[in-house]
Amino acid sequence: MRGVKTRMLAGAVVGLVGALACFGTEGDEKKGATVEAEVKIDPIYRKYEGKVALTEDEWKARLTPEQYRVLRRAGTEPAFCGGFWDFHNKGIFVCAGCGAPLFPSGKKFDSGTGWPSFTQPVVKGAVVERKDTSHGVDRTEVVCARCEGHLGHVFPDGPPPTGLRYCMNSVSMAFVPQSKLKELGYTEVPTE
135's torsion region: left (phi>0), alpha (psi -120 to 50) or beta? left
Stretch that binds Zn ion, among 93-101, 117-125, 126-134, 171-179 (CB under 5 A): 93-101
Binding residue (CB under 5 A) for Zn ion from 70, 81, 94, 95:
95
Q: Which is nearer to Zn ion, 5 or 51 (CB)?
A: 51
Window 125 to 154, contacts with Zn ion (CB under 5 A): 144, 146-147, 149
Q: What letter does residue 38 receive in the DSSP assignment?
A: H
Those residues whose C-beta lies under 8 Å from the C-beta of residue 88, and which sit 6 or more positions away, are: 105, 108
Those residues whose C-beta lies under 8 Å from the C-beta of residue 103, and which sit 6 or more positions away, are: 92, 93, 118, 120, 121, 122, 126, 166, 168, 173
CB of 96 to Zn ion, least distance (A): 8
Q: Which is nearer to Zn ion, 35 or 144 (CB)?
A: 144
Q: Indicate if 167 belongs to the active site.
A: yes
Distance CA 80, CA 115 (A): 6
Burial (CB count within 10 angstroms: exposed 0-12, middle 13-18, buried 19+), residue 116? buried
Q: Which is nearer to Zn ion, 144 or 171 (CB)?
A: 144
Q: Which is nearer to Zn ion, 50 or 160 (CB)?
A: 50
Binding residue (CB under 5 A) for Zn ion from 98, 173, 174, 176:
98
35 binds Zn ion (CB under 5 A): no
Stretch that binds Zn ion, among 10-18, 36-44, 87-95, 112-120 (CB under 5 A): 87-95
Q: Which is nearer to Zn ion, 5 or 130 (CB)?
A: 130
The 99-128 contact track toward Zn ion, x by CB under 5 A, reads -x----------------------------
DSSP letters of 49-110? -S-----HHHHHHHS-HHHIIIIIT---PPTTTSSSTT---SEEEEETTT--EEEEGGGEE-
Active site residues: 167
Sites of contact with Zn ion (CB under 5 A):
95, 97-98, 100, 144, 146-147, 149
